[in-house]
Amino acid sequence: MMDQFIHKIRALPRDLVTLFGACSLFFILFCLLASHVTTDEYCDYVVDKEKNFIRYKDIAEGCDPFWTDFESFPYHFEVSINLLRPQSANTLFAYKSTSTNVTAPIDAIGVNTPVKWALGFSVGAGYEFFHYDWDFLAKYSLFTTTEKGSTSTPLIGAVIPSLGLGLLDHTVGNATSVLGFTWNNLEILLDKKFHFRENLLLFTSLGLETTWLSYSQKATYTGGTYLGPQSAVVKRTSHLFGLGPEAGLKSNWLFADNFYLKAATTGSLQFIYQDTYYVEKSALPGYNALFFKDNENFIAPTLSLSLGLGFAQYFACDTRFISFELLYEQRTFFQQNQLLNVLPAANPRFTHATSDLSLQGFLFKIDLRY
């Protein structure tokens, strides 16, 4: 019974399961935390910082006390739904030619794996201390997506593989590519808060960032005069682990009651340990399989930029504070896409195809303080 239930869950779209899980987690914690309210039933009176009872409707509104009142809530929890799109080079898997020539002259156009938008999530928890000027935050993010692309022989022309040493000087009938991208990220940050004006907050942050990143491309070629009913498979994979210090700068500018603009930039310098693989094989008689593996240790930077709009509000008789933010973020991993390419020569040799990886998209974040 349980196996059938798990099978049905796996059959659902991954984006839907991710969205449902993140929303469920937030609302469960939200209800648990919001239930601890120490005011009277009708919320006619609340207690100010001097322990004096004042009428709720007489509380001053506006931007003057906005950024200072919520500092009396040391605990906070945040969750965000991230609509992201990875960007990477090295997604080429075939050329579509207007002729059947495989030697010069050739007129062809490259076919890359299309990359679409996908959902991820982030969840974090923090605590403010030292008179609420310092904030400790731990945040975990996950994003994974699988993209597919394919092409077949046109009415006039041919499909030329862009990968595979054994397919050199041959055409195929069909070519498909499956691109996989998984990003796990853990940040542990210590923020320092500065009040420049009553409606302007500036945060400086220093901490540690850990990244697990997996990137792969699997190209499958079938048909043609050479392969016939057989197929050839080329798979390139990169697994990366990074660890290093992170620093950042964030600002919130309250431009109207409850509404504010947010801008942030963070960067890290990570020590990277990376394994890369190249596998090429086919069931065709006489096709020589290739298996290459390499690992590298190097130092590489990452950079994140975000800009957006936020809305914040007190609730539960001013004993809770909640904010909603819609942000655009661009995160770049410099020189961390290092797939292996096999080049034709007298003897096969392989080399790194080095380029940057990036994630860009929109983040919808909810932050609860109590």
Q: What is the pLDDT of residues 113-146, one digit of tens each?
A: 888 899 999 999 888 776 567 888 899 999 999 9
Contact 330, 304 (CB under 8 A): yes
- Give me the pLDDT at residue 28, please: 55
Measured CA distances, 250 to 11, 109, 170, 266, 267 (Å): 40, 44, 55, 8, 12
Q: What is the structure's pLDDT at 306?
A: 93
CA dihedral 305, 361, 336, 268 (to 10 degrees): 30
Task: Express as a percent the part of the chain with pLDDT over 70.
Answer: 77
Rounded CA separation 102/83 (Å): 41
**Cis check: omega of the bond before 105, within 30 degrees of 0:** yes
How far, in Å, CA of 357 to CA of 370, rounded? 38
pTM above 0.85, yes or no: no
Q: Identify the band that residue 218 occupies on the pLDDT scale cut at 50, 70 and 90.
A: very high
Q: Band the pLDDT of 271: cuts 50, 70, 90.
A: very high
pLDDT at 328: 93
pLDDT at 41 over 50: no
Q: Is 305 exposed, middle or buried (0-12, 13-18, 19+ CB in 10 A)?
A: middle
Distance CA 92, CA 217 (A): 10
pLDDT band per the 50, 70, 90 thresholds, residue 54? very low
Q: What is the pLDDT of residue 51?
A: 43
Question: pLDDT per residue over 92-107, tens digit each?
Answer: 888 888 877 777 777 8
Structural domains for the chain: 2-369 (2.40.128.100)
